[in-house]
Structure 1
Amino acid sequence: MSAKELKQFTREEVAEHNKEGDLWTIIDAKVYDITRFKNLHPGGAAVLLDDEVVGQDATESFYGLHRHEVLERPQYARLQIGVIKGEESVMHGRQIGQVSKVPFAEPTWLADGYSSPYYTESHKRLQKAMREFVDTVVSPDAQAREEDGKRPSAEVIQKMADANIHAMRMGPGKHLKGLTLAGGIVTPEEFDYFHELVITQEFARCGARGYGDGLQGGAVIGLPPVLNFASPELKARVVPEVLSGKKFICLAISEAFAGSDVAGLKTYATKTEDGQHWIINGTKKWITNGTFADYFTVGCKTDDGFTVILVERSEGVETKSIKTSYSPTAGTAYITFENVKVPVGNTLGPDGGGLLVILSNFNHERWVMCCGSSRSQRAIVEECLKWITQRKAFGKPLSSQAVVRSKLAAMIVRVESVQTWLENVTHQMNNMTYKEQSQKLAGQIALLKMHCTQTAQETARDAVQIFGGRGISKTGMGRFIEHYHRTVPFDSVLGGAEDVLGDLGVRQALRAMPKNARL
């Protein structure tokens, strides 16, 4: 029934329906008959029998207890029987495909009246298309899969492939040549790292950390070594399969024996006597997408040192799910390789040259994590700003308390500093070759990731304090806060622990110190 067809009531008429067998209420100029619903209310009938609810305008009470999305659920939407005559509904939750009007809820370049030297019209067109795509296609699947723990739906993967989103998430490069990107919104020739940043940040808005990694996160970090170091024949076979969403790939480096210490890995590969195959034995742990991967980009010890080899799921490869503090939809795995036979043609880069392959890959991996971390923090800022303006404590909105405003100030400062540094690094990436990035940006990106994950955890802690008990509840008003607080440590570990990255950044700075510099 449309708004025009709904019956119109005066507030006086609604007020007459205030008895246990005849209960109406008003929420945002909409009239609801809650007579039959009172015994089904999750909080008990007493909540609805309150004198401030029955026959009254319960808008303020409702938004102090519920997210707007509750009103949009079919089982609750059908309770609406009319509207208040001469009044209009003004409240809304997240608006599909739209840029938020909440201050600091969007990066500056998307806010009204602001400009940026980095973003062009093609970036803005891509952002608009991705916002619509994520809100309508990805987010509903994300929330459902977070609940049931299943891998992202094949339909979502296919729709991403149809728009060549999988390819764009690999960054700019030759792999985009000849493709129609997002329906032609951006050409392969103009696609740059800011376009990739836009895509990554739009996906991060889902607020589903495990799903975010499950949604081809393994390809984002596992396919670039194939793109950059595989033979033409291997690339021609594997890359189209992955970018089309037909097969899945993951990066298998970390082990129970070593994580950030790549040189300490124990998985070993030896060549057969005829030199035509590798025989791989060992284990890998905490491998994102490993449970459903078809290909594994594996770091191995070899007689020549350290070598990276692309392994196809075959006899001798076994994967087991690892339970973590986020959803199984990420496909986090423990992998065993027992006498796995792999053609030497699957070697990525030269024998013994695996360290260059992995270290160059780390830059892009960590940068992507910074993109996601920055946007996830911003989503928490938006949640908190909405909450403190609608939640009342001691008879006043939370926003009236200086201590709460102080926490929000710190959150905003952190997220704006992260985004600004990120955009500066992205600009440098656009103006450097892949080799120059490895030489000049490894330390910068390492320090940026450390800063991102440290500020993220501070913001998560402050957000829980602002939301109180709701901030540790998996459902209801603070569900995104709880999820964020529970899963934010992943970014601080994946791609290199904070202390390791901080040390890397300083060591690279020390190598560049002029020998004649003195106080």
Structure 2
Amino acid sequence: MSKVASEGKQTTRRFLGEEHQIFRQAFKKFLEKEAVPYIDQWEEDRLVPLTFWKKLGEQGFLCPWADERYGGLNADFGYSVVMTEELVNIGIGQSAAIGLHNDIIMPYIQNYGNEEQKSRWIPGAVSGEIMSAVAMTEPGTGSDLAAIKTTAVRQGDYFVLNGEKTFISNGILANLIIVAVKTDQKAVPGHKGISLIVVEEGTPGFKRGKKLNKIGMHAQDTAELIFEDALVPVENLLGEENKGFYYLMEKLQQERLMISITALNSAKRILDITLNYVKERKVFGKPVGSFQNTQFKLAELATEIKIGQTFLDDLIVKHIAKENVVTEVSMSKWWITELAKKAANECLQLHGGYGYMEEYEIARWYRDVAVMSIYAGTNEIMKSIIAGKLGI
């Protein structure tokens, strides 16, 4: 058991121990030196440079869960929670794409790759030589993954890929991309014909489209990917052919849990910076925080955040125990991401005109949290999953 700071008090979190706190302090110190001074520049550049990525690897902050024989630390999921919380605390959250690489993409290699693939790719993912991405979404296909049109046709020792992907996080810089493709175009239903194929930088026929200009999460590069008779070796097939859809579904629990963790801590960060602001900012000769409306709004948010934290920590414990909590994670994903958007909206309002200025951190959060209810399955999809589990 360990004690961690939360809202100025010490609270017990079952999945964190002393070793997690040592790791937290090391990561926090690293971010203060290597990230905080450069965040504004990264936002302007619309990407986090590879030099930062290499430093993360050198310090052991990439894929810490990996086995020691691949250069990892054999760390548990608690380390991922700690890293996510500290990234949010410096105001960058998922924009750095560290959690995406560590906890969403590379686990596909760990869980479905063969030993040769793991030995080939995981060490580089740990050291910072490899930055990963996963390519599912297409210009005409989002949540309906079974409708993807990118194809992979086997020709001898290669798969020939044709199609286009969009909204791909890390799309500009990634040099290892897991691509969802149709290997059986006649499969009924369509999801039974999906496979996962790993495309490496330099693959003939693979090119990047334009870097997409998003309204938020500016430091995370997002791009279009194009495959025109791209030749990918057969040995880059991840897992079994036509089992890709099932692999993606199995990993969505952790992906949506990671988003929930980011969203909850984003709401906490938004609340913290707003509490500081309303104590200092004066109108009509009194602090903004002295008005009942302000007090009630922030009291409500603090209560909802506390409730969300309790629910989320319980899910994390169950996830670490490898329990199936798909329904509960769907609940947390939609409810907590909506809470983060509510916090951003109401706290920007409490900042008044200054909240609309780029120099105030609340403006960035207002933009960044908007997408959380969309990716990894929209919140409407989450509600459909929950309704299905209810038998309606």
For normalisation by structure 1, the TM-score amounts to 0.69
The AA in structure 2 aligned to 1:472 is: Y
Report the 3-state secondary structure (helix = DSSP H, G, I; strand = E; otherwise coil) of the residue aligned with 1:323: coil
- Please list the CA deviations of residues 25-60 of structure 1 after superposition, one character each: whole Å capped at 9, or x if unmatched: xxxxxxxxxxxxxxxxxxxxxxxxxxxxxxxxxxxx
Q: Does 1:311 align with 2:207?
A: no
Q: Deviation per CA, 1:433-484, whole angstroms, max 9, x where unpaired?
A: xxxx4xx212211211111111011111101110011111112xxx211111
Structure 1 residues 357 and 179: CA distance shift in structure 2, 3 A: closer
For 1:120, which of 17, 40, 44 is the aligned residue? 17
Between 1:115-124 and 1:450-459, the stretch displaced more is 115-124
Instruction: Check conservation: 2:93, 2:262, Cα contact below 8 A.
Output: no
Name which one, 1 or 2, has greater alpha-carbon Rg.
1
Partners of 2:70 and 2:123 within 8 A in 1:
no
Match of 1:59 in 2: none
For residues 145 and 294 of structure 1, the distance between their equivalents in structure 2, rounded to whole angstroms, comes to 20
- Conserved in 2, the CA contact under 8 Å of 1:278 and 1:341? yes
Structure 1 residues 216 and 140, CA gap change in structure 2 (3 angstroms): farther
Runs of 5+ consecutive residues of structure 1 not aligned to the other structure: 1-98, 101-105, 182-186, 512-519
State the identity as a percent.
Answer: 24
SS of the residue 2:129 aligns to: coil
The equivalent of 1:252 in structure 2 is 135
SS of alignment partner, residue 207 of structure 2: strand
Instruction: Please tell me whether the aligned partners of residues 107 and 419 of structure 1 are also in contact (alpha carbons under 8 angstroms).
Output: no
Quickly say closer, same or farther: Cα 1:493–1:113, change in 2 above 3 A: closer
Q: 1:113, 1:148 → 2: CA distance?
A: 38
Distance 2:88 2:236 in 1: 33
Q: Contact between 1:219 and 1:248, CA under 8 Å: does it hold in 2?
A: no
- SS of residue paired to 2:240: coil
CA separation of 1:485 and 1:428: change in aligned 2, threshold 3 A: same
Mapped partners of 2:12, 2:252: distance in 1: 31
1:176 corresponds to which letter in structure 2? D
| Paired position in structure 2 for 1:419 | 309
Q: Secondary structure at the match of 2:377?
A: coil
> Is 2:315 the partner of 1:407?
no
In structure 2, the partner of 1:449 is 333
Question: Where does 1:324-339 land on structure 2 (aligned, <5 Å)?
Answer: 324-326=214-216, 328-339=218-229
Question: What is the Cα deviation at residue 394 of structure 1?
Answer: 1.0
Q: Tell me if 1:165 matches 2:34.
A: no
More helix by share: 2
From the superposition, tell whether residues 125 and 210 of structure 1 become closer, same or farther in structure 2 (CA, over 3 Å): closer
The alignment of Structure 1 onto Structure 2 pairs a total of residues equal to: 381
Distance in 2 between residues matched to 1:464 and 1:380, nearest whole Å: 9
Structure 1 match to 2:190: none
1:153 aligns with 2:34: no
| Letter of the structure 1 residue corresponding to residue 279 of structure 2 | T
Give the alignment of 1:191-206 within 5 angstroms. 191-206=75-90
Hey, what's the Cα distance between the residues in 2 that align with 1:505 and 1:107?
A: 30
Match among 355, 361, 369 for residue 251 of structure 2: 361
Give distance in 2, aligned partners of 1:199 and 1:328: 20
Structure 1 Cα separation of the partners of residues 158 and 282 of structure 2: 68
What displacement does 1:219 show?
5.3
Structure 2: any 5+ residue segments left out of the alignment?
A: 188-192
Instruction: Tell me how far 1:506 sits from its aligned partner.
Output: 2.9
Q: Aligned equivalents of 1:179 and 1:224: distance in 2?
A: 13
Equivalent of 2:265, from 335, 353, 375?
375
The alpha-carbon distance between structure 1 residues 155 and 271, as it changes in their structure 2 partners (threshold 3 A), is closer
Give, in whole Å, the separation in 2 of the partners of 1:141 and 1:469: 26
SS in 2 for 1:290: coil
Mapped contact 1:145–1:211 kept (Cα < 8 A) = no
**Alpha-carbon distance between aligned partners in 1 of 2:386 and 2:6, rounded to the nearest angstrom:** 26
Whole-angstrom CA distance in 2 between matches of 1:308 and 1:424:
32
User: In structure 1, what is the Cα distance between the partners aligned to 2:285 and 2:84?
Assistant: 41
Q: Is 1:306–1:355's contact at 8 Å kept on the other side of the alignment?
A: yes
| Distance in 2 (alpha carbons) for counterparts of 1:116 and 1:228 | 27
Partner of 1:177: 68
Query: CA-atom RMSD, angstroms?
Result: 2.2
Residue type of the alignment partner of 2:56: M
- The DSSP-based 3-state class of the residue aligned with 1:269 is strand
What's 1:73 paired with? none
Structure 1 residue 112, shift from structure 2 partner? 3.8
User: Any residues of structure 2 matched to 1:237-276 within 5 Å, and which?
Assistant: 237-272=120-155, 274=156, 276=157
Which residue, 158, 179, 185 being the options, matches 1:298? 179
- Asked if 1:464 is matched to 2:345, the reply is no
Residue 110 of structure 2 is aligned with which of 206, 216, 227? 227
Provide the residue aligned with 1:510 in structure 2: 391
Normalized against structure 2, the TM-score is what?
0.91
1:390 maps to a residue whose letter is E
The question of whether the paired residues in 1 share the 8 Å contact of 2:80 and 2:99 is answered with no
* Relative contact order, higher structure (CA 8 A, sep 6+): 2
Aligned 8 A contact 2:71 2:126 in 1: no
> How has the CA–CA distance of structure 1 residues 127 and 301 changed in structure 2, closer, same or farther, with 3 Å as cutoff?
same
Distance 1:356 1:464 in 2: 41
2:377 is the alignment partner of 1:493: no
- The Cα offsets for residues 330-358 of structure 1, whole Å up to 9 and x where unpaired, read as 11011111111111211112111011111
Question: Does the 8 Å contact 2:63/2:103 carry over to 1?
Answer: no
Distance 1:118 1:228, change over 3 A: closer
Moved more, 123-132 or 349-358: 123-132
- SS for the counterpart of 2:130 is coil
Q: Tell me, in whole angstroms, the C-alpha distance in 1 between the residues paired with 2:206 and 2:257.
A: 30
Hey, what does 2:164 align to over in structure 1? 283
